[in-house]
Amino acid sequence: MNQDSNDQNKDQSKDPQKDDSTENDSVTWSHDIDLLLAKWCDNAKCYEWMHTESASLYSRKNKAFLISTNIITAIAGITNIITDNISSFNVGTVFGGISILVSTINIIYDKLGYSGLVEIHKKCALHWSIIIARIEEVVILPYSSRTDCKAFMKYIKKDINQVSFEGKQLIPESIRDACLNKFKNIENFDIPDICGHVEHTRIYIQDDLNKPLI
């Protein structure tokens, strides 16, 4: 008799914990989840645009350095041909100065790393475009046709955190300002905080009818 009573007490003590764990692990599609995904998608569109613009910016700068170096090298070759027949001309001084100038430009070019930045921004823009597509493909569907909510939120947030860590801080301030000016007039469009458009943090509020509010 005592054994049965003890087993019953153990079962009763375990049930609330089991129910709480099950409840905490349960994440289902809701209007609040859709609002959060819409915010992430808006942010992703901004980041894709900023990384695309940054890639174009650094690509132009990269080409400018390469063209400058090629022009100076071409000038050095032409000068060599012209001064061959001029014995009084100090060819060594000219070529020495040109070589120093070309070397200086190459050193600055390597330090700035424009070619590497172009590739990083292109990669980030591609990743953000994939995130946008994945979110839009889900939110357009009715809840019954969607994949598991908890798994989707886990993996999409992991992708967002990874691409944000890789390239967010590399976006030039001028591009951030341009992004704010481009998207700020779109109604209810959520712009990333790095663009200077900071909003209040949204929290979960539950009313008397047990309906979640934003």
pLDDT of residue 190: 92
Instruction: Give the orientation angle of helix 31-82 with respect to helix 173-183, to 10 degrees.
Output: 130
pLDDT digits (tens, 9 = 90+) for 157-208: 999 999 988 788 899 999 999 999 999 999 989 999 999 877 777 777 765 4
> Are residues 52 and 44 in contact, defined by beta-carbon separation less than 8 angstroms?
no
Residue in this structure with the two tokens 């944000």, named with its chain if needed: 164
Q: pLDDT value at position 83? A: 62
Which 3 state secondary structure label does DSSP give 206?
strand
Per the prediction, the chain carries an average pLDDT of 80
Cβ within 8 Å of residue 98, ≥6 positions away: 72, 75, 76, 79
The span from the CA of 125 to the CA of 33, in Å, is 25
pLDDT reading at 125 higher than 90: yes
| Mean pLDDT, residues 140-147 taken together | 94
Residue 101 host element (H or E)? helix 91-112
What per-residue confidence (pLDDT) applies to 95?
A: 64
Count, residues in the chain: 214
**pTM, to two decimals:** 0.73
DSSP state of 200: P
pLDDT value at 21 more than 50: no
Locus of tokens 């000038």 = 75
Residue with tokens 């990384």: 51
pLDDT over 90, % of the chain = 48
Each residue's pLDDT tens digit, 38-65: 999 999 999 999 999 999 999 998 888 8
pLDDT average, residue stretch 120-124: 94
Distance CA 3, CA 168 (A): 62
* Span 9-17, average pLDDT: 49
Q: How far apart are the first and last CA of the chain?
A: 53
CA distances, 54 to each of 62, 114, 164, 171, 176 (Å): 12, 10, 15, 7, 10
Examine the pLDDT at 36 and tell me if it is beyond 60: yes
**What is the pLDDT, as a whole number, of residue 210?**
52
What Å distances lie between residue 122 and 45, 52, 112, CA to CA?
14, 6, 17
What is the DSSP-derived secondary structure letter of residue 195? G
Measure the CA–CA gap between 36 and 42, rounded to whole angstroms.
Answer: 10
Is residue 18 pLDDT above 50, yes or no? no
Distance of CA 174 to the CA centre of its chain: 16
Q: pLDDT-derived band of residue 88, with 50, 70 and 90 as boundaries? A: low
Residues above pLDDT 70, as percent of the chain:
72
Q: Please say whether the beta carbons of 129 and 66 come within 8 A.
A: no
Per-residue confidence (pLDDT) for residue 205, from 0 to 100 = 73
Give the pLDDT confidence score for residue 211 in this predicted structure. 54
pLDDT in tens, 73-82: 777 666 666 6
